[in-house]
């Protein structure tokens, strides 16, 4: 999803920064014996539409607010969500297209971006009848990336600092985190372990270094072998040169 740029002199030239996120919906059929109070008798489902980070990563350091535009059958169809979690939960009876307008933090100096999501209430893949019977939740979501091309300096700083590091729970003390950070402190460091959707970690980096060291050993062995062969050939050359000289001298 490319973001149109303002021409600004303090842009970081030649740099593109990608930030991934997920948007979509989760819907669940209402339990007739346990319906939320005060809802219309026609409503059959409860649903949530959302914009969130991959693996629920905090994205509020670059995403300021999201405006969700619901179907006109809803009162106050336009819902502005000013802080995370960027989501709207409602009940209803029908599927429709939700418009989501993403507003970036003011430092970004970027225009808002619009996305559309088709709210899904009913199962559409797999064992459809079974899913209906079990009143299973219907999840419909998409991965997306926002591309900030040549971001302005202050926003570049924010993007590369990453989200504030969350407080570490009890027992986390002394864990193999790359370094200890205080709550709310920003960090550009990679996490210790991989997680789903994020293959970049201190552990993975260590493993990659081990693989590189092994490969270096192999290459060094090969170089030694080649050097020995070369020395052998130089000896033969020297011998031939000598013999040639002797022949000429005769
Ligand atoms: C449809 N074109 O007919 C769609 C429209 C509208 C969904 C779906 C209303 C909730 C309310 C609601 O569920 N609207 O009345 O508060 O399927």
pLDDT of residue 202: 63
Beta-ladder partners of 93: none
Answer whether residue 183 is part of any domain: yes
CB-ligand 1 contact for 96 (6 Å cutoff): yes
CB-ligand 1 contact for 200 (6 Å cutoff): no
CA-proximal residue: ligand 1, atom 10 (nearest): 92
Its pTM surpasses 0.75 = no
Same domain? For 241 and 208 the reply is yes
pLDDT of residue 183: 44
Same domain? For 88 and 117 the reply is yes
Answer whether residue 196 is part of any domain: no
CB-ligand 1 contact for 18 (6 Å cutoff): no
Question: How is residue 219 written in tokens?
Answer: 């290459």
pLDDT digits (tens, 9 = 90+) for 77-113: 999 999 999 999 999 999 999 999 999 999 999 999 9
CATH number of residue 135's parent domain: 2.60.40.1970
Same domain? For 121 and 223 the reply is no
Same domain? For 31 and 119 the reply is yes
| Alpha helical stretches, state H, the chain | 128-133, 153-161, 202-249
Closest among 28, 49, 2, 43 to 151, alpha carbons compared:
2
CB-ligand 1 contact for 92 (6 Å cutoff): yes
CA-proximal residue: ligand 1, atom 14 (nearest): 94
Instruction: Please give the residue that has the higher pLDDT: either 250 or 19.
Output: 19
């Amino acid at each position: 999803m490319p973001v149109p740029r303002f021409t600004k002199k303090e842009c970081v030239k030649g740099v593109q920064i990608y930030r991934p996120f997920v948007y979509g919906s989760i819907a669940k059929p209402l339990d007739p014996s346990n319906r939320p109070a005060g809802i219309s008798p026609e409503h059959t489902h409860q649903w949530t539409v959302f914009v969130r980070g991959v693996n629920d990563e905090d994205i509020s350091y670059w995403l300021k607010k999201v405006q969700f535009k619901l179907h006109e059958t809803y009162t106050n169809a336009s819902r502005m969500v000013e802080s995370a979690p960027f989501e709207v939960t409602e009940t209803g009876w029908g599927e429709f297209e939700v418009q989501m307008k993403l507003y970036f933090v003011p430092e970004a100096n970027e225009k808002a971006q619009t996305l559309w999501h088709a709210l899904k209430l009913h199962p559409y893949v797999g064992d459809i009848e079974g899913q209906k019977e079990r009143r299973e939740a219907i999840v419909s979501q998409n991965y997306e990336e926002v591309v900030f091309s040549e971001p302005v300096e202050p926003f570049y700083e924010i993007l590369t600092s990453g989200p504030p590091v969350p407080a570490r729970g009890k027992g986390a003390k002394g864990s193999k985190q790359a370094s200890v950070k205080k709550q709310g402190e920003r960090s550009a460091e990679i996490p210790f372990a991989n997680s789903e959707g994020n293959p970049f970690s201190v552990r993975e980096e260590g493993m990659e270094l081990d693989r590189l060291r092994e490969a270096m050993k192999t290459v060094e062995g090969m170089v030694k072998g080649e050097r020995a062969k070369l020395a052998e050939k130089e000896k033969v050359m020297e011998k031939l040169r000598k013999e040639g000289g002797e022949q000429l001298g005769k």
